[in-house]
């Protein structure tokens, strides 16, 4: 496996389990960082595991999911099974942290302090460390201790209130906004900025990432409009939320959808001409005629298939796209050209597909250098790098401190 990428030489300790943290560290790993996943060596423990067992619920086997070769979130990472509640586990972790550049965790506020592995404790030994904590609501404020998931955060941020059709319940956009964009990607941005700051100051710092905050930043333009007008945007009212007929998805002859985003007047005029409906051009500025325009579009797009419309309209300077299902995306010529679906070899000789590396660099390209590791796959390797003897490793494994 060859090293490379713009983050070559950066070591990241990943204590996270759920979407935001693994997504963040996947990005860093794709860009060349040496990411070490620190995982519990046995069955899940702690208050949540006890509550699940008391309720007769089988705990989710996160480790099994993360180690699947199909799981892109765990790629480009090494795994060490480490019990942070054991004395050897804490000692090993502190030695790892002393040599690390970045720590990423998504504990509830206060948990790292109780475990004795907080930023204050580690930075006293490694002042260059960048410590990123990802939570739903942040490290302060009245909501800091609230449990939650993506849906709760996007609701509080205001995003959920503006997604959906008029007079309909809000549309839930999977868990893309808070978990991945507001959490994982914002965390990666924060870490990269802190690495740059360290280059200037020589010091690391604490990066507090709240998924609520990240989601609000995604809504910066929407809030700007509200702050300027004091007018609350309703679902389906914005041109970007289906409020305008020329920015919408239309059912085609083959019961698939074509998307039209001809919001600029010239693109709209091109669309009307291509559809043979130049009479609609004058309706663009008259919202009272939007229902009439929408009906005309609905009837027209039903006359051909999705791909026929794309073939026609993509040649006429119209903002058009096909709504592809997940099984169709990898066959799209643009996706192929950008290598956004990769086929990779597993150690067992099988082939698996994954989403490709999104950032393209001319000199230091990112890559997928290794697939998801098994829990503890690199424990011995990592401990030997830290200078531990095989006898100590074997003894700690017997004690349950390692896997």
Lowest-confidence segment of 1-15, 81-95, 171-185, 208-222 by average pLDDT:
1-15
Can you tell me whether residue 24 is helix, strand or coil? helix
Mean pLDDT over the full length of the chain: 93
pLDDT, residue 2, reads 43
Average confidence (pLDDT) over 195-213: 98
Over 50: is that where the pLDDT of 138 sits? yes
pLDDT, residue 61, reads 59
Over 60: is that where the pLDDT of 256 sits? yes
Average confidence (pLDDT) over 273-298: 95
pTM given for the model: 0.92
Residues belonging to the active site: 149, 179
Domain 11-218+347-398, CATH 3.40.50.10540 — does that match? yes
Question: For the chain, what are the domain ranges?
Answer: 11-218+347-398, 239-251+257-322
Q: Tell me the two tokens of residue 99.
A: 């040599």
pLDDT tens digits along 286-331: 999 999 999 999 999 999 999 999 999 999 999 999 999 999 999 9
pLDDT, residue 67, reads 83
Share of the chain above pLDDT 70, in %: 94
pLDDT tens digits along 117-127: 999 999 999 99
| Dist CA 31 CA 302 (whole Å) | 44
Over 90: is that where the pLDDT of 51 sits? no
Residues in the chain: 403
Average confidence (pLDDT) over 210-218: 98
Q: How many CB atoms lie within 10 A of CB 124?
A: 10
- By 3-state DSSP, what share of the chain in percent is helix, strand and coil, each rounded to 5? 45, 15, 45
| Dist CA 76 CA 14 (whole Å) | 12
Over 80: is that where the pLDDT of 389 sits? yes
* Nearest partner of 356 among 375, 374, 337, judged by Cα: 337
Contact 41, 82 (CB under 8 A): yes
Domain 239-251+257-322, CATH 3.30.1540.10 — does that match? yes
Same topology between domain 11-218+347-398 and domain 239-251+257-322: no
pLDDT, residue 42, reads 73
pLDDT, residue 46, reads 55
Residue 373: CB partners within 8 Å, gap ≥ 6? 37, 67, 74, 77, 78, 79
| Dist CA 38 CA 106 (whole Å) | 13
Average confidence (pLDDT) over 362-391: 95
Lowest-confidence segment of 65-69, 142-146, 205-209 by average pLDDT:
65-69
pLDDT tens digits along 18-50: 999 999 999 999 999 999 999 998 765 555 556
Average confidence (pLDDT) over 393-402: 94
| Dist CA 25 CA 305 (whole Å) | 41
Share of the chain above pLDDT 90, in %: 88
> pLDDT-derived band of residue 180, with 50, 70 and 90 as boundaries?
very high
Average confidence (pLDDT) over 358-370: 95
Over 50: is that where the pLDDT of 1 sits? no
Average confidence (pLDDT) over 86-96: 95
């Amino acid at each position: 496996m060859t090293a490379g990428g713009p983050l070559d030489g950066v070591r990241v300790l990943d204590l996270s389990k759920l979407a935001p943290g693994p997504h963040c560290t996947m990005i860093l790993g794709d860009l060349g960082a040496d990411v070490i996943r620190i995982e519990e060596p046995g069955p899940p423990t702690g208050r949540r595991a006890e509550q699940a067992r008391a309720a007769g619920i089988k705990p989710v086997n996160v480790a099994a999911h993360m180690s699947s070769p199909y799981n892109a979130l765990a790629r480009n990472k090494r795994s060490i099974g480490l019990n942070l509640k054991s004395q050897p586990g804490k000692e090993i972790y502190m030695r790892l942290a002393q040599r690390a550049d970045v720590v990423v965790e998504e504990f509830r506020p206060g948990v790292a302090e109780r475990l004795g592995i907080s930023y204050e404790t580690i930075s006293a030994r490694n002042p260059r460390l960048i410590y990123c904590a990802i939570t739903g609501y942040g490290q302060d404020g009245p909501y800091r201790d609230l449990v939650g998931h993506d849906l709760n955060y996007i609701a509080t941020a205001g995003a959920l209130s503006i997604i959906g059709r008029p007079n309909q319940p809000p549309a839930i956009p999977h868990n893309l906004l808070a978990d991945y964009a507001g959490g994982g990607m914002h965390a990666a941005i924060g870490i990269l900025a802190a690495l740059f700051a360290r280059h200037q100051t020589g010091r690391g710092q604490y990066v507090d990432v709240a998924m609520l905050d990240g989601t609000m930043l995604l809504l910066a333009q929407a809030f700007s409009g509200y702050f300027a007008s004091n007018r609350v945007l309703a679902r389906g009212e914005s041109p970007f939320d289906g409020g305008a007929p020329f920015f919408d998805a239309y059912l085609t002859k083959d019961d698939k959808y074509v998307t039209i985003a001809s919001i600029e007047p010239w693109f709209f005029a091109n669309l009307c001409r291509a559809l043979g409906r130049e009479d609609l051009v004058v309706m663009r500025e008259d919202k009272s005629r939007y229902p009439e325009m929408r009906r005309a579009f609905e009837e027209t797009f039903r006359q051909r298939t999705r791909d026929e419309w794309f073939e026609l309209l993509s040649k006429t300077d119209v903002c058009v796209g096909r709504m592809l299902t997940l099984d169709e995306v990898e066959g799209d010529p643009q996706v192929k050209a950008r290598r956004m679906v990769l086929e990779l070899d597993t150690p067992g000789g099988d082939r698996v597909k994954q989403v490709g590396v999104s950032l393209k660099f001319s000199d230091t390209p990112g890559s997928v250098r290794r697939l998801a590791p098994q829990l503890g796959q690199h424990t011995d390797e990592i401990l030997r790098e830290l200078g531990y003897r095989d006898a100590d490793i074997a003894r700690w494994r017997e004690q349950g401190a390692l896997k």
